[in-house]
């Protein structure tokens, strides 16, 4: 993993800052909406602000190697605080602003932070709650002083006051110049869904090489604009709003508050945009609801041109040939529908959009691409400094996560787990050599924990499931329940699905209907029902689900690796899977083992040939009382599509 760095190339984020100030001193670097107006700071002004705070930190007593926690919503001053920390040889540690006090205490203790720079009273209160347990913490610096007038200020100062202190400029410059590619740039805590959060140490090499490679991959320009609204503690935000912004010199825009994000998005009209699937889903839903209320002509216009867009848009985006008539229709649609719609969504100017984090529904993905928005997928994690794979322009599909990012090598282990090696591979987990060793081997290969495979024809990576959930069926073929469940869940009528099949000869599934969607459908179709249970077993509902399962089977059958995962029999559950009953986690992830055990009788029935089963289930009501619900469930045989292998024979 040697990288040729010429002696003049910037070796740290502060060095990139200095380079940008020399290159374009008067270009906006940061904007923030405050008091109803977008305030902006040029690169030259940004450097002044950062220097002022860095000098203040020196005067406060910051030593090289100290950790400085940063907690708050995306604001320019907090980004400056991170770079200022780097300038005086300290390590910024951004933490999730919505983390509970104990979680913040854990991180502060773990990294031994001497200082914390926080947004407002809420964060100050949280730290005050745990102050007794956090011995190393000496001083809290806050941005917004509202409500803090009465607080004891012996260990607390406002950001402005620190920035006004001044300090030893020569010492600051000495420390900045001493920074190399091997110095730690930032430390980020993983979310810690399993066990304690781990502090991922990223070096300047990780950050700058990744920023450079990814900026070149997508041809990012100094004229680009981003909206910084995702948590500062997340590696993606650090790379987009600090790494890439510093590398290419584009402008980072901070919203006025958490609640104004959509308005601010519209006002800024970013050219480079990142959002988890949830954001795109919510936007699409609100558009659809508003169109339902629109007049008949407008509704017709929308439906008509969206059909044109779905047919023509993605092809045009990929630069494929399109007939003249289609081009004309699309142009008219663009004037009447797509343009105004994109403008309303704040997506008019997007050149590159990314989604990642979880699977995105194909119809959501296609909707945005049909509008001419270059939405792509990437696959990454903190330990890789974000990028593992990403989709190049013109090769975008909803079912892959793209080709390896520049500089990334991929390897698929025998059990299907994806391994990678790149200049972005993290240095270590802070104070946790065991975890470091079990994640990263001596040659620098890192285990992702995800199972997947590389499509031979295109070289794209496809992620199928968490590696620990992937199993084998009785005949030895690959069993990836989540892959099939996700396909099912993309139907609005299906809320949850649980697929069984490990060590069995075929797959079967439990399905939960979505009461809102199916209830709505029932109302429109004059289907009367008195309870969730009754609706779930209604013959027409079962027919509808039959159709969905058949479509999913047909799509699974297309896949040479996973064709064995087609659903042979299924039933629609009489109750929603619920965290109160232990069937799901609080973050709404199905607990497969618990569900399998609890509904043991139903699983047995699925693998027999009965067409009905009577069952009793214990449920917990919201007030903690327990009750039993009894139901007779229908078991349906699904239509199984011929697999390619069979078809070929």
Partner 1 sequence: MKDMLTPYVTDDGRQIGETLMDMRNITLRFGGVEAIKDISFNIQEGEIRAIIGPNGAGKSSMLNVISGFYNPQEGEVWFRGKKRPPMKPFQVARLGIARTFQNIALFEGMSVLDNVMTGRLNHMNASMFSQALWKGRAEREETENREAVERVIDFLEIQAIRKTPVGRLPYGLKKRVELARALAAEPKLLLLDEPMAGMNVEEKEDMSRFILDVNDEFGTTIALIEHDMGVVMDLSDRVIVMDYGRKIGDGTPHEVRNNQEVIDAYLGVSHD
Instruction: Give the nearest distance from C-beta 453 to partner 1 in angstroms.
Output: 45
Q: Is residue 65 a contact residue for partner 1 (CB under 8 A)?
A: no
Angle at CA of residue 409, ends 382 and 239, nearest 5°: 30
Q: Percent helix, strand and coil across the chain, each rounded to 5?
A: 40, 25, 35
Q: Yes or no: say if 61 and 175 are a contact pair by the CB < 8 Å rule.
A: no
Backbone angles phi, psi at 400, to 5 degrees: -120, 165
- 12/211 Cα distance (integer angstroms): 12
The smaller minimum CB distance to partner 1, of residues 256 and 576, is found at: 256
Instruction: Give the nearest distance from C-beta 291 to partner 1 in angstroms.
Output: 19
Q: How far apart are the first and last CA of the chain?
A: 47
Instruction: Give the nearest distance from C-beta 267 to partner 1 in angstroms.
Output: 11
The smaller minimum CB distance to partner 1, of residues 36 and 321, is found at: 36
The smaller minimum CB distance to partner 1, of residues 259 and 586, is found at: 259
CA 326 to chain CA centroid, nearest Å: 35
**Which positions from 127 to 146 touch partner 1 by CB under 8 A, shown as an x/- string?**
-------------------x
Angle at CA of residue 265, ends 263 and 270, nearest 5°: 160
Among 80-88, 111-119, 124-132, 257-265, which window interacts with partner 1 (CB under 8 A)? 257-265
**Residues contacting partner 1: total by CB under 8 A:** 14
- 270/170 Cα distance (integer angstroms): 38
Of residues 172, 142, 180, 181, the one with CA closest to residue 158: 142
> What dihedral angle (degrees, nearest 10) is formed by the CA atoms of 636, 637, 639, 644?
140
Instruction: Give the nearest distance from C-beta 283 to partner 1 in angstroms.
Output: 16
- 610/122 Cα distance (integer angstroms): 58
The smaller minimum CB distance to partner 1, of residues 256 and 578, is found at: 256
Instruction: Give the nearest distance from C-beta 259 to partner 1 in angstroms.
Output: 4
**Which positions from 25 to 54 touch partner 1 by CB under 8 A, shown as an x/- string?**
--------xxxxx-----------------
Which of 257, 343, 516, 604 is the binder for partner 1 (CB under 8 A)? Answer: 257
The smaller minimum CB distance to partner 1, of residues 263 and 620, is found at: 263
Instruction: Give the nearest distance from C-beta 48 to partner 1 in angstroms.
Output: 24
Q: Which of residues 237-256 bind partner 1 (CB under 8 A)?
A: 256
Q: Is residue 533 a contact residue for partner 1 (CB under 8 A)?
A: no
Instruction: Give the nearest distance from C-beta 294 to partner 1 in angstroms.
Output: 18
Q: Is residue 259 a contact residue for partner 1 (CB under 8 A)?
A: yes
Of residues 474, 473, 510, 497, the one with CA closest to residue 636: 510
Q: How many CA atoms lie within 13 A of 617 on its CB side?
A: 27
Strand, coil or helix: 137 = coil
| Region at 85 (left for phi over 0; alpha for psi -120 to 50; beta for the rest) | alpha
Q: Count other C-beta atoms under 10 Å from residue 476's C-beta.
A: 8
Q: Is residue 263 a contact residue for partner 1 (CB under 8 A)?
A: yes
The smaller minimum CB distance to partner 1, of residues 173 and 267, is found at: 267
The smaller minimum CB distance to partner 1, of residues 266 and 504, is found at: 266
CA 450 to chain CA centroid, nearest Å: 15
The smaller minimum CB distance to partner 1, of residues 34 and 637, is found at: 34
For 449, the enclosing helix (H) or strand (E) is strand 446-454
The smaller minimum CB distance to partner 1, of residues 75 and 489, is found at: 75
Q: Is residue 289 a contact residue for partner 1 (CB under 8 A)?
A: no
CA torsion sign, 162 to 136 to 93 to 423? positive
Token couple for 240? 């987009």
Q: For residue 631, what are the CA distances in angstroms to 600, 603, 613?
A: 15, 15, 8
Q: Which of residues 357-416 bind partner 1 (CB under 8 A)?
A: none
Instruction: Give the nearest distance from C-beta 344 to partner 1 in angstroms.
Output: 14
Strand partners, 409: 421
Sequence-ordered list of residues with C-beta below 8 angstroms from that of 562, at least 6 positions apart, any chain: 464, 478, 480, 483, 484, 556
Instruction: Give the nearest distance from C-beta 265 to partner 1 in angstroms.
Output: 12
**Which positions from 146 to 175 touch partner 1 by CB under 8 A, shown as an x/- string?**
xx-xx-------------------------
Q: Is residue 343 a contact residue for partner 1 (CB under 8 A)?
A: no
The smaller minimum CB distance to partner 1, of residues 257 and 335, is found at: 257
Instruction: Give the nearest distance from C-beta 255 to partner 1 in angstroms.
Output: 9
- 605/570 Cα distance (integer angstroms): 10
Instruction: Give the nearest distance from C-beta 120 to partner 1 in angstroms.
Output: 11
The smaller minimum CB distance to partner 1, of residues 267 and 546, is found at: 267
Instruction: Give the nearest distance from C-beta 37 to partner 1 in angstroms.
Output: 8
Q: Which residues bind partner 1 (CB under 8 A)?
A: 33-37, 146-147, 149-150, 256-257, 259-260, 263
């Amino acid at each position: 993993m040697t990288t040729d760095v010429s002696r003049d190339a910037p070796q740290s984020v502060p060095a990139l800052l200095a380079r940008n100030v020399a290159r374009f001193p008067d270009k906006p670097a940061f904007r923030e909406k405050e008091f109803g107006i977008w305030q902006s700071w040029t690169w030259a002004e940004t450097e002044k602000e950062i220097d002022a705070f860095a000098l203040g930190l020196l005067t406060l007593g910051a030593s090289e190697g100290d950790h400085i926690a940063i907690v708050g919503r995306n604001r320019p001053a907090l980004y400056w605080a991170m770079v200022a920390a780097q300038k005086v040889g300290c390590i910024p540690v951004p933490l999730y602003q919505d983390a509970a006090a104990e979680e913040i205490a854990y991180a502060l203790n773990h990294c031994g932070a001497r200082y914390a720079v926080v947004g407002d009273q809420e964060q100050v209160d949280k730290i005050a709650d745990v102050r007794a347990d956090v011995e190393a913490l000496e001083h809290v610096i806050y941005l917004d002083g509202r409500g803090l007038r009465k607080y004891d200020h012996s260990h607390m100062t406002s950001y402005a006051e620190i920035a006004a202190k001044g300090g030893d400029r020569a010492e600051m410059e000495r420390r900045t110049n001493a920074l190399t590619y091997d110095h730690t740039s930032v430390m980020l805590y993983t979310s810690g869904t399993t066990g304690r959060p781990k502090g991922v140490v990223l070096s300047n090499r990780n950050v700058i090489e990744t920023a450079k490679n990814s900026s070149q991959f997508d041809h990012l320009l100094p004229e680009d604009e981003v909206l910084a609204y995702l948590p500062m503690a997340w590696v993606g935000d650090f790379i987009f709003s600090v790494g890439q912004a510093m590398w290419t010199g584009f402008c980072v825009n901070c919203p006025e508050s958490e609640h104004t994000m959509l308005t601010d998005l519209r006002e800024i009209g970013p050219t480079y945009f990142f959002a988890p699937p949830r954001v795109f889903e919510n936007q699409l839903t609100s558009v659809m609801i508003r169109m339902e209320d629109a007049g008949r002509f407008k509704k017709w216009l929308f439906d008509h041109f969206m059909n044109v867009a779905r047919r023509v848009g993605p092809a045009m985006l990929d630069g494929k040939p399109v007939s003249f008539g289609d081009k004309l229709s699309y142009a008219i649609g663009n004037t009447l529908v797509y343009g105004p719609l994109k403008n309303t969504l704040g997506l008019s100017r997007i050149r590159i959009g990314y989604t990642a984090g979880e699977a995105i529904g194909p119809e959501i993905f296609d909707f945005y691409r049909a509008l001419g928005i270059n939405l792509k997928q990437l696959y990454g994690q903190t330990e890789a400094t974000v990028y593992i794979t990403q989709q190049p322009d013109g090769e975008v599909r909803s079912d892959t996560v793209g080709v390896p990012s520049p500089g990334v090598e991929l390897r698929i282990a025998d059990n299907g787990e994806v391994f990678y090696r790149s200049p972005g591979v993290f240095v270590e987990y802070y104070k946790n050599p065991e975890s470091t060793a079990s994640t990263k081997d001596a040659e620098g290969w890192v285990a992702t924990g995800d199972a997947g495979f590389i499509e031979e024809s295109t070289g794209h990576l496809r992620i199928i499931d968490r590696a620990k959930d992937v199993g084998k069926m009785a005949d030895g073929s690959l069993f990836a329940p989540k892959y099939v469940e996700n396909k099912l869940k993309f139907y609005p009528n299906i809320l949850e699905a649980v697929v069984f099949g490990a060590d069995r000869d075929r797959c079967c599934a439990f399905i939960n209907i979505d009461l809102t969607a199916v209830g709505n459908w029932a109302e429109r179709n004059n289907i009367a029902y008195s309870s969730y249970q009754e609706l779930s077993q209604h013959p027409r509902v079962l027919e509808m689900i039959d159709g969905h399962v058949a479509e999913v089977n047909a799509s699974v059958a297309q896949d040479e690796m996973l064709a064995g995962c087609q659903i042979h029999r299924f039933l629609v559950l009489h109750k929603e899977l619920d965290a109160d009953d232990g069937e799901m986690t609080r973050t709404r992830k199905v607990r497969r083992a618990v569900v399998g055990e609890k509904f043991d009788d139903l699983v047995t029935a699925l693998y027999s040939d009965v067409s009905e089963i009577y069952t009793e289930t214990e449920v917990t009501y919201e007030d903690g009382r327990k009750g039993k619900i009894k139901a007779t469930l229908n078991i349906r045989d699904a239509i199984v599509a011929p697999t390619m292998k069979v078809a070929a024979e």
